[in-house]
Amino acid sequence: MNVELSGHYNYSRIVKSVLPSIAMVLVTSIYSIVDGFFVSNFAGKSGLAAVNLTCPIIMMVGCLGLMLGSGGAALTAKFKGEGHARTADKVFSMLVVVGLTVGVVFGALMALGAPLLSRWLGADEGMMRECVVYIRLNMLGMPGFVLQMAFQSFYMAAERPQLGTMMSIVSGVTNAVLDAVLVWALDMGVAGAALATSAGCLVGGIFPLWYFASRRNRGSLHLVRTRIHWAYVGKACTNGLSEYVGNIAMNIVAICYNLQLMRFLGEDGVAAYGVLMYIAFVYAAVFIGYNIGITPIIGFHYGARDVGEQRSLLRKSVNIIGVTGLLMAAAAELFATPMARLFVGYDADLTALTVHALRIYMLGTLICGWNMFISALFTGLNNGVVSAAAAFARTLVFELTCVWLLPTVLGINGIWLSWPIAELLSLFLCAFLLRRFAPQLLRKSQARS
């Protein structure tokens, strides 16, 4: 079943169109959660702390695929809206080649530099071995991980989001089954978790290569022979820069959280923050999936010069995200205790710390969805500079400042409050950018018609 980018989108059609993308990202986010569950319950909190320390640096490389995919999906959707389907196929194909190359090169470099990276991330001697093992074994699947992140956005641009959902489910099941076998049954600890994740990423990244190049492809994007045109690659990277900046900044911030928590609470603080991150991954997946689904639609109507539909998509998206954020924040407050017990129920003190942290930290869910969408809106409008500015300020400026300054005033609660306060500050900035630049872009689109 295809999802067409053209035509008017009411609330029902928006929800139906983005649900496959949301499901796809939700399942993908379960990778790290499943690893965390098995490692924490069967390898202990030291293994969990090691996974949490190294996960941000792994994600920073994988998110290069998200940059290529999200920026490339907006660009290919624009070309399709303009009636240039063949150009869209060529751009899609060259970005897939670039993504595969990036995964191979960076995977090799990080495997070689794993001890240095582990020390830089703050690992002590007791955690060093597990950190190095987790990084190196994850690098086996890095080419698949980069491609998987890229294809997440291209599925919607190809009008085949259900395929993305299916592939995420297959990859997620592969990861979960292997976690159970390697971590639990064979007692391989963090090594088993890393191998399981790599296997899931390879399944999710390599199969789409065959599909998009085969005659079975029923989507509107196809892998074709083409040469690399760096102007298109640069435009795609510029479009998707906000998604990469947002994710790399988020992982840099996570590293800083871990450094601060090692200072204030030690291993328990890092373990508790890991639980927060697993739950935040699931919550963020809803908004990321929505943006992956809506960005090509915005890009298509931008290319088609349909200003009225762009405004309608903006208004409806703000309402949908607001209601969703409210419901998710309420769920975090109500179910903080069972969520904490799922991961660290074996340690009463650690559980209490995690519950307290969850109830403060997850207040950021009330606001973050709007900030993420406004950044994605500018990606869809092919204005990567403004989109990146919003993402950069949200995480690398506001949240990083909060996580270093607030604990000096509020103690440990200052760390947990850093995200909600940073999101509030970012909301004011995003509202300014929306009022300043979105009307100008819409008038520009209208003038071309």
Q: Do 364 and 423 form a contact (C-beta atoms < 8 A)?
A: yes
- Residue with the bigger pLDDT between 35 and 235: it is 235
Amino acid found at 77: A
pLDDT of residue 446 exceeding 70, the answer is: no
Q: How confident is the model over 176-225, as pLDDT tens digits?
A: 899 899 998 998 988 998 999 999 999 999 999 999 999 888 888 999 99
pLDDT of residue 125: 78
Q: With pLDDT > 70 as the criterion, what percentage of the chain qualifies?
A: 95
* Model pLDDT, residue 448: 43
pLDDT value of position 71: 86
HEC per residue, the chain = CCCCCCCCCCHHHHHHHHHHHHHHHHHHHHHHHHHHHHHHHHHHHHHHHHHHHHHHHHHHHHHHHHHHHHHHHHHHHHHHHCCCHHHHHHHHHHHHHHHHHHHHHHHHHHHHCHHHHHHHCCCCHHHHHHHHHHHHHHHCCHHHHHHHHHHHHHHHHCCCHHHHHHHHHHHHHHHHHHHHHHHHHCCCHHHHHHHHHHHHHHHHHHHHHHHHHCCCCCCCCCCCCCCCCHHHHHHHHHHCHHHHHHHHHHHHHHHHHHHHHHHHCCHHHHHHHHHHHHHHHHHHHHHHHHHHHHHHHHHHHHHCCCHHHHHHHHHHHHHHHHHHHHHHHHHHHHCHHHHHHHHHCCCHHHHHHHHHHHHHHHHHHHHHHHHHHHHHHHHHCCCHHHHHHHHHHHHHHHHHHHHHHHHHHHCHHHHHHHHHHHHHHHHHHHHHHHHHHHHHHHHHHHHHC
Once rounded to an integer, what is the mean pLDDT over residues 423-449? Answer: 73
What are the tens digits of pLDDT across the range 104-123? 999 999 999 999 998 888 77
What confidence category does residue 366 fall into, taking pLDDT thresholds of 50, 70 and 90? very high
Question: How crowded is residue 400: how many other Cβ atoms within 10 Å of its Cβ?
Answer: 17
Query: Mean pLDDT across the stretch 56-66?
Result: 87
Checking if the pLDDT of 233 tops 70, the result is: yes
- Count the neighbouring beta carbons within 10 Å of the beta carbon of residue 42: 18
What pLDDT band is residue 78 in, cutting at 50, 70 and 90? confident
Give the distance from CA 360 to its chain's centroid: 22
Report the share of the chain in percent with pLDDT over 90: 37
Please indicate, yes or no, whether the overall pTM of this predicted structure exceeds 0.95: no
The torsion region of residue 258 among left (phi > 0), alpha (psi -120 to 50) and beta comes to alpha
309-356, pLDDT tens digit by residue?
888 888 899 999 999 999 999 999 999 999 999 888 888 888 999 999
Judged by average pLDDT, the poorest of 42-51, 313-322, 401-410 is: 42-51
Does residue 384 register a pLDDT over 90?
A: no
Residue 274 structure tokens:
């890991």
Closest CA to 157 of 233, 203, 222: 222
Greater confidence, 103 or 126? 103
User: What's the farthest any 2 CA atoms get from each other in the chain?
Assistant: 64
């299916």: which residue's tokens?
Answer: 166
Confidence of residue 443 (pLDDT cuts 50, 70, 90): low
- Band of the pLDDT at 135, cuts 50, 70, 90? very high
> Is the per-residue pLDDT at 166 higher than 90?
no
| pLDDT value of position 445 | 46
Has residue 427 got a pLDDT over 80? yes
Does the pLDDT of residue 97 top 60, yes or no? yes
| pLDDT score at 32 | 65
**What's the N-to-C CA distance of the chain in angstroms?**
32
pLDDT at 395: 79
* pLDDT over 90 (residue 295): no
> What was the pLDDT predicted at 98?
95
Given a cut of 70, whether residue 141 has pLDDT beyond it is yes
pLDDT score at 195: 94
449: confidence class by pLDDT, cuts 50, 70, 90 = very low
Average pLDDT, the chain: 86
At 172, is the pLDDT very low, low, confident or very high (cuts 50, 70, 90)? confident
pLDDT band at 280 (very low <50, low <70, confident <90, very high): confident
pLDDT at 391: 80
Q: Which of 38, 387, 95 is nearest to 239 (CA)?
A: 387
Please answer whether residues 136 and 114 qualify as being in contact, where contact means their C-beta atoms are separated by less than 8 angstroms: yes
Question: Is-contact 152 18, C-beta < 8 A?
Answer: no
Q: Which of 122-126, 139-143, 254-258 has the lowest mean pLDDT?
A: 122-126
Q: What angle do CA 384, 387, 389 make, to 5 degrees?
A: 110
